[in-house]
Chain A
C-alpha cells in the first residue's frame, strides 16, 4: 500500500547527518512513512544511527528479503503479509528483555489474527481504506461505496481509485454482499460486472493524488484515511466516508529480520517506538493512528479529533481486518482486475 507519496527522500536525507554513532540499525520501511524527528531523537538517546531505505509495496519488500544479502534489520509489512513473514522464518521473535515496553501495545492490538500475543511484531501505524469525497460537488451521504461503484452524474469522470487490487476488491465484495476472499462465484460475478461498468466513470487509478484531490482535479475516490486527512488540511471541502457495507482496516507492524546484522539495536529501536511520545511522532508525521496506549496526548491537535481517525461507533464497526487471500482467490481477483484495466 503506497499510501505515503513520493517524498521519502526527505526523510532519508534528514537521517544521513554526520553524527558519531556507536552503532547502526537499518530500517526497511514504506516511503515517506518514517518521521525524521523520531530518528534524530533515537540517535540522540541511544547513539545508534538509523538508515532508512524505502519500498513501495509489500510484494517488493517480501521479494527482496527472500533473496537475502539485503543488510536490513527491521521491516514493516502490512497485516495481510505479516504471517507469511513469520511462517517463512524471515523474522525472529521479539526479545522481551529489551522490548520492555511491550505492555504499551493497546489491548485491542495485542491478540491480532496475524500475530497472536504479538510475539513477533509491534504496531507501527494502522488505518482504513474508504471513500474521499468533495462535498461541494456531491451533497449526498458519503458513507457509501456506491459513490464509486455506481456513481451519481455529478461525480462521473471525476473519480480516482487507488490501484490497490486487494483493497478495491475488498470494498467491492463487501458492497456486493460477500466476505473478503470469497470464492462465491455469484458474488464475484456481481463484483466483476459492477467494476467493469463503474470503471467507465473513473478518471484514473493513481496513487499520489493528495494534491490533485485538494486542487479539485478529482471529486471523489477510494483512498486511505491518512492521505485523505492530508488532502482535507489543504481543502476543507474534502471529507472521508466510511462505507457502511464494509471497508478494510490495515495495520503495518515492525518486525526484526532473522538475518539482521544488528539484532540488538533493532530490538532497542522496536522498544523505542513503543514509548507513547515516540509513537505519537510517527503518527504526527504520516497522519495515521498507531496502536500504542497513551500516545494520543502527544499527538497534534489536528490528529486528536480528526474525522478520518475518530468516527461514530456504527461507522467504525463496519471496518474489517483484511486477511491475506489464498493463491487461488488472488488469482481470481487478478483476472478480474486485468479485465477491468485492459
Chain B
C-alpha cells in the first residue's frame, strides 16, 4: 500500500520533472557544449573542440601585438558594471520597497489585497512598452523636461536619457514589485505585539525599527534582494533602450556575440559566466538563510 502511493507520487511528478529536465537542463547543456566549440561561418558553431572562447572570456591577445596577452579589460569592465548596477538597483528597490510594503502591511486586512493588486498592475503591460514609456518621460524633449522648462524650474533640459541614471531608474521601476512582495509576506507574519513590547520597554522608534522590525523581516529582504539582483544581472532591454546601447551590460555583450559578433562559442561561454554569478548569489543567499534557521534550531 505504502509503496503504491510512493510510486504514484513519482508518476504524478514526472511530467513536471520531464519539463524541467528538457526545458532547463537541455538548453543549458547545449550552451555548455557550444562554449567548447569553434565559431561557424556567419553564425552557428563548427564542431571542432576549442577552449578559445573560454580563454577569451578572461584574457585578451592584443589585436595588434598578438604575443601580448593580458586580462580582458573590456569584458571585466562589462562584468563590473553589470554587478555594480545590479547591486545599486537592489539597494534602491530595498529602500523604496520597505516603506511601500510597510504601508500595505499596516492597512486594514480587507484593504491589503487591493494595494497588493495595484503593485502587480505594471506587469499587465509588456516590458518593452513600459521601457519606451520611461524613455518618453525622461528624454530631452520628453514630458518631464518640457514640464520643468515650462515651469521655469530649469533653464536647460536635464540630460537623463542614455545615462546610468536612466538604466537604474528603468531597472528599479521594473523590479520594484519583486522586492515589495516578499517584504510584504514577511511583514504580514510580523507579530505587532513585539513592536508594542518594544515601545513598552522604552525603545525609541529607531531602536524598534533597528532591533525588532528589521531582524524579523530580514528573510523578506534577502528573498527580495535575490529576486531583484538575479534578473538585473541579465537585463538586456533596459540598458539597450534607456542606456542607449552606449555601454554594454552582460546581456548585451552576450547578445552581440550571437548577432553581429558571430561568435556563438564566446557568447555561450559568457552566458555560463553569467550563470556562475547567479549561482554564487544563490549560494550566498542559502548560506545566510540556513545560518538563520540553524541558529534558531540550536536554541530550541
Query: Interface residues, chain A, CB within 8 Å of chain B?
Result: 57, 59-60, 62-63, 66, 81, 84, 160, 163-166, 185, 188-189, 192, 199, 202-206, 212, 215-217, 324, 327, 330-332, 334-339, 341-342
Report B-chain residues with C-beta under 8 Å of the C-beta of A199: 246
- Contact: B244 with A217, CB < 8 Å? no
Report A-chain residues with C-beta under 8 Å of the C-beta of B42: 59, 62, 81, 84, 324, 327
State A327–B75 Cα separation when bound (angstroms): 21
- Contact: B64 with A189, CB < 8 Å? yes
Question: Within B244-289, which residues are at the interface with A (CB < 8 Å)?
Answer: 244-248, 252-253, 256-263
B63, B78, B262: the one contacting A330 at CB < 8 Å is B262
State A216–B141 Cα separation when bound (angstroms): 8
- Contact: A188 with B63, CB < 8 Å? yes
Q: Which residue of A lies closest to B135 (CB)?
A: A212
Task: Decide: A215 near B259, CB < 8 A? Known: A63-B44, A338-B74.
Answer: no
From residue A331, how far is it (CB to closest CB) to chain B in Å?
7
- Contact: B261 with A212, CB < 8 Å? no
Report A-chain residues with C-beta under 8 Å of the C-beta of B246: 199, 202-205, 341
- Contact: B260 with A334, CB < 8 Å? yes
The 9 closest A-B pairs by CB, nearest first: A204-B244, A334-B261, A342-B74, A205-B245, A215-B141, A165-B260, A204-B162, A342-B77, A59-B259
B77, B245, B263: the one contacting A334 at CB < 8 Å is B263
Enumerate 6 A-B pairs (CB-CB under 8 Å) in ascending A order. A57-B260, A62-B42, A81-B42, A204-B245, A341-B246, A342-B248
Beyond A160-B244, A204-B162, A335-B60, 11 additional contacts (C-beta under 8 Å) are: A62-B43, A84-B41, A203-B162, A205-B245, A206-B162, A212-B139, A327-B42, A330-B261, A331-B262, A339-B74, A341-B256
State A164–B259 Cα separation when bound (angstroms): 10
Chain B's interface size range is: 20 to 34
B140 within 8 A of A: yes
- Contact: A341 with B245, CB < 8 Å? yes
State A335–B60 Cα separation when bound (angstroms): 9
State A81–B162 Cα separation when bound (angstroms): 32
Report A-chain residues with C-beta under 8 Å of the C-beta of B256: 334, 337-338, 341
State A160–B248 Cα separation when bound (angstroms): 16
From residue A32, how far is it (CB to closest CB) to chain B in Å?
15
B39 within 8 A of A: yes
From residue B236, how far is it (CB to closest CB) to chain A in Å?
13
State A341–B240 Cα separation when bound (angstroms): 12
B161 within 8 A of A: yes
- Contact: B245 with A217, CB < 8 Å? no
Report A-chain residues with C-beta under 8 Å of the C-beta of B39: 327, 331
Q: Which residue of A lies closest to B46 (CB)?
A: A327
State A215–B145 Cα separation when bound (angstroms): 13
State A189–B65 Cα separation when bound (angstroms): 11
State A202–B246 Cα separation when bound (angstroms): 8
From residue A231, how far is it (CB to closest CB) to chain B in Å?
14
Report B-chain residues with C-beta under 8 Å of the C-beta of A59: 42-43, 258-260, 262
Question: Within B137-171, which residues are at the interface with A (CB < 8 Å)?
Answer: 139-141, 161-162
A164, A206, A212, A327: the one contacting B262 at CB < 8 Å is A327
- Contact: B141 with A57, CB < 8 Å? no
Question: Within B74-119, which residues are at the interface with A (CB < 8 Å)?
Answer: 74-75, 77-78
- Contact: A60 with B259, CB < 8 Å? yes
- Contact: A217 with B63, CB < 8 Å? no
From residue B134, how far is it (CB to closest CB) to chain A in Å?
14
Question: Within B37-77, which residues are at the interface with A (CB < 8 Å)?
Answer: 39, 41-44, 60, 63-64, 73-75, 77
From residue A222, how far is it (CB to closest CB) to chain B in Å?
13
State A60–B247 Cα separation when bound (angstroms): 23
State A331–B63 Cα separation when bound (angstroms): 10
Task: Decide: A331 near B263, CB < 8 A? Known: A62-B43, A203-B246.
Answer: yes
Report B-chain residues with C-beta under 8 Å of the C-beta of A338: 74-75, 248, 253, 256, 261
Which of B41, B60, B252 is most buried by chain A, counting CB atoms within 10 A of its CB?
A: B41
A63, A202, A215, A217: the one contacting B43 at CB < 8 Å is A63
Report B-chain residues with C-beta under 8 Å of the C-beta of A327: 39, 41-42, 262
